[in-house]
Amino acid sequence: MKRIVVAFLILSTLILADNNQTWNPKPIAKIYTLTYDKNTTCLVRKIAIYKEPKWVAKIEVRDGKTVFFSSPKSMFEFYHRPGKWYEVGVKSERDFSKIVVTDYATLKPINGEDAFYVYGSRAISPAGDDLPAFATKESAEKFSKKYSGKRIMKFDKISDALIRLLNGRI
């Protein structure tokens, strides 16, 4: 019994002396990368993506495949209609594990689902009218003012109908 009390007192002292530094773990930051070469092509447009690095996007599939795109618009086209490219083997968006886009301002890879997209700007990608992506709302607003953007949108607000409109199919 004495041993239990002594062990409890020692453990209590250690915990209180720690100031909760070891018991408060920090969240692990996800690392986003876009690694491609001159032979990497866009699944949708069939063009080399290295020529316009500010537009590159990718989707990693749960089975380990990585699919690259020449722009966020092309990425959304695949996202909303993955069955159109049956060779990838994706049936729905539940098969996607990671979506990465290039921050138009910094050229750094960012989480596509957390990005801010500018609709209606004068910026033209290799795929035509497009949706430049930004890590912060402030940088998206700054770009929007400079290049006459009409609206800033989050990932979940970009519909298949909007992508078809940008592609001239409506």
C-alpha span between 110 and 48 (Å, rounded): 21
* 66 Cβ contact list (under 8 Å, min separation 6): 58, 59, 60
pLDDT band, very low/low/confident/very high, at 20 (cuts 50, 70, 90): low
pLDDT score of 144:
98
DSSP three-state, residue 88? helix
| Of 162, 144, 56, nearest in space to 102 by CA | 56
Is 16 among the domain residues? no
The boundaries of the domain holding residue 64 are: 29-166
Is 112 among the domain residues? yes
Is 15 among the domain residues? no
Is 149 among the domain residues? yes
Is 17 among the domain residues? no
Is 4 among the domain residues? no
Structure-block tokens of residue 13 = 């002292």
To the nearest 10°, report the CA torsion of 162, 58, 142, 114.
Answer: 80
C-alpha span between 16 and 71 (Å, rounded): 53
C-alpha span between 38 and 31 (Å, rounded): 23
Tell me the mean pLDDT in the region 130-137: 98
Is 158 among the domain residues? yes
Would the pTM count as exceeding 0.85?
no
111 forms beta bridges with 100
| Of 49, 55, 45, nearest in space to 104 by CA | 55
Q: What is the mean pLDDT of the chain?
A: 90
Tally of domains in the chain = 1
Is 83 among the domain residues? yes
